[in-house]
Amino acid sequence: MPFGKRFDVGDGLRLHVVGDGPKDGPPLILLHGFPESWWAWRKQVGPLAERGFLVIAPDLRGYGDSAAPEGVENYTLDRLVGDVVGVADALGVGRFDLVGHDWGGVIAWAVAARHPDRVRRLVAIAAPHPDVMRGQMLRHPRQWLRSAYIGFFQLPSLPEKMLRARDFRRLRETLVRTSRPDTFTAAELDRYTAAWRRPGRLTAMLNYYRALRRKRQPVGPIEARTLILWGEEDRFLGTHLAEASGAMCADAAVLYRPDATHWLHLEEPEWLTEQIAGFLADPR
């Protein structure tokens, strides 16, 4: 049965979680990326639930109806990893499968590495393993250009002013420009914009990037069987990052989707659902 609830995941932080599927189904956690919310998975939640999975799709901290604590220190990778485990604990889930897109994928890599006893299988969509990014940028200078926005996001206040200008016009245009035509309808962009307008949300979203400058331990190798899915026309992340990420895994497969962009989950929803469900159901 579908549900939408808020759960305390530690330190008084409450996250909003949407779910569907049988209570006794295999638990499957879906993690969205920037600048979306659980709603990023609107084309996957129902179909995966119909296949028997207990689908769990949280709004990450700072997004949607989840809490948005102030301060860059509240958006470090360690805290984000703790949120995912906290959601599973709040729902009484022990071992689970994990799917992440963009920032949700970055977090998913870290959860799988640091909690190998909790993650059965991992699906990373348009999201590089956190330990490979710097080295790949040195080997592939074009990736520096693709990732230039990350440097811009480090600045105080100015990114908020530019992105908020003219009712988030620049952010809306970025989604349209980097996706296939008609991927984002006007009504869908309006829904995203309404979420970005909420007090403190834009800064919280940017703090994910600002927290990257803080020192952290390497994420390390991945034990869980892993599927990496990538659009060949991704404007932000080159396909070389998918191969390098696969090399961090004990057992990984990498699949590319021709003509798809960074927004695979919205452009190729049926294909993506089939890949996820087939991989998770594979008895090997």
Residues of the chain short of pLDDT 50, as ranges, are: none
For residue 283, what pLDDT is reported? 84
Q: Which residues contact 63 (CB under 8 A, 6 or more apart)?
A: 32, 36, 37, 195, 201, 204, 205
Q: How many domains does the chain have?
A: 1
Per-residue pLDDT of 148-204, as tens digits, reads 999 999 999 999 999 999 999 999 999 999 999 999 999 999 999 999 999 999 999
- Respond yes or no: is residue 131 known to be catalytic: no
* Set 101, 115, 129, 262: catalytic member: 262
DSSP-assigned beta bridge partners for residue 6: 16
- Using only C-alpha atoms, what is the Rg of the chain? 17
Is the whole-model pTM more than 0.95?
yes
Residue 176, class by beta-carbon neighbours within 10 Å (0-12 exposed, 13-18 middle, 19+ buried)? Answer: middle
For residue 120, what pLDDT is reported? 98
Cα-based distances in Å from 125 to 85, 190, 228 = 20, 25, 6
Hey, is 47 helix, strand or coil?
helix
* Distinct helix (H) and strand (E) counts, the chain: 12, 8
* Set 102, 192, 234, 265: catalytic member: 102
* Domain range for 117: 3-281
For residue 4, what pLDDT is reported? 85
Interior CA angle at 250 toward 89 and 269, to 5°? 65
* Set 208, 209, 234, 265: catalytic member: 209
- Respond yes or no: is residue 102 known to be catalytic: yes
- Respond yes or no: is residue 149 known to be catalytic: no
For residue 204, what pLDDT is reported? 98
Chain centroid offset of residue 85 CA? 15
* Beta strand 14-20 pairing with 54-58: antiparallel
CA distance 235 to 113: 27
For residue 1, what pLDDT is reported? 54
CATH of the domain at 178: 3.40.50.1820
Q: Which residues contact 29 (CB under 8 A, 6 or more apart)?
A: 56, 57, 58, 84, 87, 88, 96, 97, 98, 99
